[in-house]
Amino acid sequence: MAKVAWLGLGVMGYPMAGHLKTRGGHDVVVYNRSPEKALKWQEQFGGETASTPAEAARDCDAVFACVGNDDDVRSVTTGPDGAFQSMRPGAIFIDHTTASAQIARELAAAAEARGLHFLDCPVSGGQSGAEAGALTVMAGGDEAAYARAEPLIAAFARSVRRMGASGSGQLAKMANQIAVAGVVQGLAEAIHFAERAGLDIEALIATISKGAAQSWQMENRWKTMHAREFDFGFAVDWMRKDLGICLGEAASNGAELPATRLIDSFYAELAAEGGGRWDTSSLIARLGAKRKT
C-alpha cells in the first residue's frame, strides 16, 4: 500500500481516484478546487481531504493530477500552494491531464531541480473508461520513475506504456486524438450517406463492423449518432482543446494535419451553435436531417 494524493475530481479524476482506493487499496488524500466535491468523494470512498495541493501532497509517495489545461497543471505543481512545495525528495508527480508537451518538459525540469520526478501520463478511454477502470495510459518521463508508478496506475488502467522521455506521453495522446477525430468524421459521413441512401442502418453496421471499417466509435456510438443523441461521452469543447494542442504542436514540428484542421473547424461550428457540451459524435449533426422512411 502506498500513500498517494489526487488533485482534481472531475468526471475522469473522481472515479480514477476511487479505483486507487478500492482496487489498489492505497491510502488516498484528495484535493479539489471546489471542496464540496472532495467531501462527496470522501463520503463515497473514505480517505482524506486537503485544502491545498501542497497539503494533499505532504509525505506522499506519489501525487496524481487530472485537471483542465497547462495553466491548471502549473498551478497545482509549482504554484504558491502547489504540490512541489511539499513533496518529499524522490516522490513522483503523475499528471493525467491532456496538456502540451512543452508543459510536461517544463515541469519535469522543475521537479528534477527539487529532487522529484514528473511523469506526463495522459489517458484515453473517456468517462466510461475511467468509471470502469479500463483506461489506456501513455507515459513520458524517467524510466525508473515510470517503473515505480506503473503498479499504481494499473488500479484504473487496462493498458499502460512508457512512450519515451518527458513530453512523449502528451505527444502520443495528440496522435490518439488526431486518429479519433478522423474516425468520428468518417463514421458520421458513412451513417449520413447510408441514411440518405435508404439503407437499414442496424443491418449495415452489423455487416461493416465485422470488416475493415470496424472501430470503437462504430461499436459504441453508431446507435446514438443515428438517433442524433449526443450526451454520451467526451465533449466537443474538450476535443477542441485537444485538437488545438495538436495543431499547435504540428506548427512547431512541421507535421501536416489538413484533415484535423478541417474537423476542428467542424467542431467549432457545433460549439458556436450551442453544441459545446455535446459529445464528439455530434459531427453528424452538421450533415443534415435523417431521411424520412
How far apart CA 57 and CA 104 sit, in angstroms, is: 19
Low-confidence ranges of the chain (pLDDT < 70): 291-293
For residue range 8-19, what is the model confidence (pLDDT) as tens digits? Answer: 999 999 999 999
For residue range 113-125, what is the model confidence (pLDDT) as tens digits? Answer: 999 999 999 999 9
Q: Which residues are catalytic?
A: 173
User: What is the pTM assigned to this prediction?
Assistant: 0.94
For residue range 207-266, what is the model confidence (pLDDT) as tens digits? Answer: 999 999 999 999 999 999 999 999 988 999 999 999 999 999 999 999 999 999 999 999
Position 293 scores a pLDDT of 44
Residue 251 burial (CB < 10 Å; 0-12/13-18/19+)? Answer: exposed
Using DSSP, state whether 293 is helix, strand or coil.
coil
Nearest residue to 93 (alpha-carbon basis) of 105, 84, 102, 80: 84
Residue 234: C-alpha distances to residues 159, 191, 218, 292 (Å): 20, 20, 15, 29
